[in-house]
Amino acid sequence: MLDATFNLSTTTTPRAFNGHTSIYLPVIATIEDVQVESKLEKVYDVRLPGGENLGHSPGQFVMVSLPGVGEAPISVMSSPSRTHDTFRLCIRNAGDLTNVIHKLERGDRVGIRGPFGRGFPIEVFKGKDVLIAAGGLGIAPARSLIDQIIDNRADFGRLIILYGARNPSELLFRDAMAEWEERDDVEALVTVDRADDTWLGHVGVITRLFEHIQINPYHTVAITVGPPIMYRFVVMELSGKGLTPEQIWMSFERRMKCGVGKCGHCQVNHRYACQEGPAWTYAEALAFEEAL
Amino acid sequence: MSLYILPKDQLSAFVEALQASFRVVGPTQTETGYAFADIVDPEQLELDYDTTVLPPKKYFLPQREVLFNFHANALEPGTGQLEVEPVFQDVTPTVIFGVHTCDMNGIMLYDKVFAEGFRDEHYMERRDQIYVIGIECLTPCDDASFCKDMGTLTAPPIYDLHMTEVNGSYLLDTGSERGEALLLEYSEAKMAKSEDMQLLGRTLSAKWPHFRHRLKMSRDQTPSLLSLGYDAHIWEDLGERCLACGSCTNVCPTCFCFDVQDELDINMEDGERVRVWDSCQLHEFALVAGGHNFRESKASRVRHRLMRKGKYIKQVHGLLGCTGCGRCERACLVDITIPGTLNALYEEMQLEPGG
Amino acid sequence: MSNKPKIAFFDFTSCEGCQLTVIDALQTHLGLLDLVEIVQFREAMTEKGEDYQIAFVEGSCTRKSDEDRLRQIRNQADVVVALGACAHLGGINSMKNRWTIENVQTYVYGQNGKEAYESYPARPISAVVQVDAVIPGCPIDRFEFLRIVQQMLQGRKPKLPDYPLCVECKLAENACLNTLGKPCLGPITRAGCDAICPTYGDGCEGCRGWHPEANFEHMREILRGHGLSEEDIDARFTMFNHYQMEHMGEDSPLKPEAVLSRNEALPSSDFAAPQEAD
């Protein structure tokens, strides 16, 4: 039996915000490195003052600020196992703020608040086979979890990674993917909705990958991260493989303005995604009319 | 805590005495009705008011509030120096007179929202400086009120002082030590006698028949009614009528959702991050970067508001998100009302249980 | 500083009140001149530079012969901004579109008007050239003008409020004019002016254009409640927004009888149409 009933009221302890008590005040962090990941995404290594460890868990997010422009929630991409004096964010150029963030370079400053939210309950996953289905930019928060598992490989059973992107040019982390494909202890499958001339792999939406994997439903947990449209179909596949709603975790993207459960934007039914989410089990989500 | 008595004609002297040390606000007459505003002359205070467009929440969570100042190079964000300094605005000690019981219930909810979980010091610091002086409602504001249904016809325990008009005097109950100190230091109030208490009791019990019930169900039933009615037909009709104007939430004493925006000085270097009231009834409220809107239809937004009022807020904070004050009903130009909606839902659920 | 963006102001059919507001804004926010270099602004200066990156265009296009000048501006500028209701919507000028152009020319300029003065139905500048940003209003709001200039200088896409005026009106704690029996188009009009007209007791006339979810059907219902006829209501809907309403096609909330370009003499008016000098 899986024990998914961990404390729902868990929230992050507020960080010391420059010694002030305002929960809205960011700390000033420095961009240590920027890498172009694709046409739309860049990866940023961010250093908190004094190289303080972010202290996050996979699935949590930070609020990234550029005072004068705005603030937005961004999932942490690096795993706690690989986060020391910098943490990593994968940011898609998708809006007003991220458009400006994409112009930033090494040495530039950003405001950081967080980490916020309830990440994936990694303790619950220990000893289990872990299936991760990520779509699009969902691979970034999933990456945090994947690397955490890989770095503590003996604590977990099988690690199955299913990753779908719209087309080959939008695939992220191709180097990491190649590494995962190489490893004997990781089963990684990638698909694209639409192939181009260079693409020799799977073609079709992510659910098409499920026919290539077999899982032991008694022993598996599934985590899915991706665009809202994806969840319904992935959940159907997972249910078809015998997983119960308690064995399926999903991360919910919502508009967020405060990150601390006040501003109301991220509400899903009576829950705030920034506090009790963004990761919920499908069982929990089923109880929210609004979730799916 | 004790009960005091202050003759009505001594109220002005009380207000005047307070003005030396406090910002005093209260209901005042406007061209078209009443509004909470600064009291310059004690004669402006209209304790006999019916209702106001905005509840006194504007003193607790102002329409626009600076969270912090920043100094940055906004022409090339991220590249220059970046400094932030928190701001705790306007902490002038303030006495608010004449808060109706419905609005005190709204303040009680605010106190929970901003203190629970992450403590919002911007709210809490201001809250500490605000003294609430309630006034007992002896007649309903108008036909839009349904405080009796919502259980907000009595004063919740958040007031510093609470006044009831009895026979040409105000009986004042002290709800806090600082409230009692305020009364003793700034007014000529005397301890109430036992016959005053008797009169108070009679006045309070006599008021109830003046208020009517408008809901066809008890307020305890609204969470389950709303759960059952999630897929009811009424939402489509309400969504079709809704103007998506957000008036209902802006005038609501329990709505607290806000947006966060950056405002830049003309030098493009200094600026303020502010929070401003936001509304779940507006199109952008649940829109994420990339374009997905989690409440695209107006029907889903109207439903969300009702869900919050009658269910979600209670699940999170233990109090219903509606005080029955009637402001949203007065503000709505297309006759979307909370009692009307809940009653229609109740009827639909009787006819088609489960939606 | 030579690397300041060069900006220029142009006017077409308009009262030039929006440019006046810009001049006003420059007086209260002189720092703007540290950020941009104004190279052309007929209403404020005599120098005239043709080397500009941002063009602010006031006024609607009401003559075929104006189109070339607009296209020239578009070719020169990196960014074209419609300044005010006339450029943004067609504005007040588009009220003439209710009648055929010949009727209007005769009414305004007398019997020889058709030959003497060129005219065609008024249109927003976006009907002629691509427009990158809009500063709505009749006149524009100076703070919105400054905010949008700042956003453009930051390389951001300028953003207008997407919600109705009622939001700002409520925040100002105004009593709702519609509930007091005064027609107000606030519920369908885009916010951004801090509800200035309702704040001073006048109903909104929609000069900022409609917000994306404007509920015309129920706005009409509210206006009927004030005793307005269908024609009165259409007149209000088309006062600033004739061009938009006309181009909504089947979605237009106008009653068929008001759909426009009527080929009939204009109704008599209290205004004396300008007559040829005798």
- Cα–Cα distance, C90 to C234 (Å, whole number): 16
| pLDDT value of residue C278 | 42
Residue span of the structural domain in which C60 resides: 6-153
Least Cα distance to A76 among A65, A55, A95, A62 occurs for A62
Identify whether the C-beta of residue B59 lies closer than 8 Å to the C-beta of residue B262: no
- Cα–Cα distance, A79 to A149 (Å, whole number): 9
Place of tokens 């509920």: C215
| CA nearest to C143 within chain B | B266
| pLDDT value of residue A67 | 93
- Per DSSP, the residues of A54-68 read ----TT-EEEEEETT
Q: At what angle do helices B11-19 and B177-186 cross, to 10 degrees?
A: 100
Interchain contact, A68 vs C154, CB within 8 Å: yes
Identify whether the C-beta of residue A48 lies closer than 8 Å to the C-beta of residue A104: no
> Is there a single domain that holds both residue C117 and residue C13?
yes
- Cα–Cα distance, A16 to A22 (Å, whole number): 9
Strand partners, B261: B274
The answer to whether position C72 is within a domain reads yes
Subunits with 3+ C-beta pairs closer than 8 A to C: A, B
Token pair belonging to A197: 């001339």
- Cα–Cα distance, C263 to B237 (Å, whole number): 40
The answer to whether position C159 is within a domain reads no
The amino acid present at A214, given as its one-letter code, is Q
- Cα–Cα distance, C255 to C93 (Å, whole number): 21
Give me the residues of chain C with pLDDT under 70, please.
1-2, 255-278
Burial of residue B323 (number of CB atoms within 10 Å: 0-12, 13-18, 19+): buried
Identify whether the C-beta of residue C236 lies closer than 8 Å to the C-beta of residue C223: yes
Interface probe, candidates B79, B266, B284, B302, chain C, greatest C C-beta count within 10 A:
B266
Place of tokens 């104004």: C38
| pLDDT value of residue B82 | 82
Residues 310-329 of B with CB under 8 A from A: 311-313, 315-316
The amino acid present at B295, given as its one-letter code, is R
- Provide the CB-side half-sphere exposure for B53 (13 A, CA): 23
The amino acid present at B7, given as its one-letter code, is P
Report, as an integer, the average pLDDT of A64-70: 94
> Is there a single domain that holds both residue C83 and residue C189?
no
Report, as an integer, the average pLDDT of B132-148: 97
> Is there a single domain that holds both residue C182 and residue C101?
no
Interchain contact, B54 vs C173, CB within 8 Å: yes
**Long-range contacts from C193-197, C-beta under 8 angstroms, 24+ separation:** C193/C137, C193/C141, C193/C144, C193/C165, C193/C168, C194/C141, C194/C168, C195/C165, C195/C166, C195/C168, C195/C169, C196/C141
- Cα–Cα distance, B57 to B54 (Å, whole number): 8
Identify whether the C-beta of residue A166 lies closer than 8 Å to the C-beta of residue A194: yes
Query: What is the number of domains present in chain C?
Result: 2
Place of tokens 């997972």: A238
Q: Which residues of A touch C156 (CB under 8 A)?
A: 69, 96, 99-100
- Cα–Cα distance, C139 to C17 (Å, whole number): 6
In percent, how much of chain A has pLDDT > 70?
93
The structural architecture, per CATH, of the domain A27-116 is Beta Barrel (2.40)
The answer to whether position C161 is within a domain reads no
| pLDDT value of residue C258 | 56
Q: How far apart are the first and last CA of chain C?
A: 56
3-state SS string for B270-325: EEEEEEEECCCCCHHHHECCCCCECCCCHHHHHHHHHHHHHHHHHHHHCCCCCCCC
**Higher pLDDT, residue C48 or B39:** B39
The structural architecture, per CATH, of the domain A122-286 is 3-Layer(aba) Sandwich (3.40)
Domain map of chain A by residue range? Answer: 27-116, 122-286
Interchain contact, A69 vs C156, CB within 8 Å: yes
E-assigned strands of A9-136?
27-36, 41-47, 61-66, 70-75, 87-92, 109-116, 129-135
User: Model pTM?
Assistant: 0.93
Q: How far apart are the first and last CA of chain B?
A: 50
The amino acid present at A115, given as its one-letter code, is P
Chain B closest-CA separation from residue C218 CA (Å) = 6
Is A21's pLDDT higher than 80?
Answer: no
> Is there a single domain that holds both residue C65 and residue C134?
yes
Interface probe, candidates B82, B128, B249, B278, chain A, greatest A C-beta count within 10 A:
B82
In percent, how much of chain A has pLDDT > 90?
82
Supply the mean pLDDT for chain A.
90
| Phi (first) and psi of residue B201, to 5 degrees | -60, -45
Report, as an integer, the average pLDDT of A35-48: 96
Chain C closest-CA separation from residue B275 CA (Å) = 13
Interchain contact, B260 vs A263, CB within 8 Å: yes
Task: Name the pLDDT band for A8 (thresholds 50, 70, 90).
Answer: very low
Chain A closest-CA separation from residue B121 CA (Å) = 6
| CA nearest to B83 within chain A | A28
The answer to whether position C276 is within a domain reads no
| pLDDT value of residue C251 | 77
> Is there a single domain that holds both residue C13 and residue C145?
yes
Interchain contact, B241 vs C166, CB within 8 Å: no
Chain B closest-CA separation from residue A109 CA (Å) = 4
Q: Which residues of A touch B271 (CB under 8 A)?
A: 67-68
Strand partners, B174: B161
> Is there a single domain that holds both residue C149 and residue C186?
no
**Nearest residue, CB atoms, B247 vs list C170, C213, C215:** C170
- Cα–Cα distance, A287 to A284 (Å, whole number): 5
Beta sheet of B130-135, edge-to-edge order: B34-38, B23-29, B94-99, B130-135, B161-166, B169-174, B3-7, B190-191
Chain A closest-CA separation from residue C156 CA (Å) = 7
Subunits with 3+ C-beta pairs closer than 8 A to B: A, C
In percent, how much of chain B has pLDDT > 70?
98
| Phi (first) and psi of residue A124, to 5 degrees | -70, -30
Domain map of chain B by residue range? Answer: 3-60+88-210, 219-259+278-351
Least Cα distance to B271 among B45, B119, B67 occurs for B67
Token pair belonging to C140: 């524009």
| pLDDT value of residue A20 | 46
Least Cα distance to C83 among C25, C156, C165 occurs for C25
- Cα–Cα distance, B287 to C202 (Å, whole number): 33
Measured between alpha carbons, how far is residue B54 from residues B33, C15, C195, C257 in Å? 11, 38, 16, 41
For the stretch C228-267, pLDDT in tens is 999 899 999 999 999 999 888 777 777 655 555 566 666 6
| Phi (first) and psi of residue B172, to 5 degrees | -115, 120
Interchain contact, C154 vs B77, CB within 8 Å: yes
For the stretch A147-196, pLDDT in tens is 999 999 999 999 999 999 999 999 999 999 999 999 999 999 999 999 99
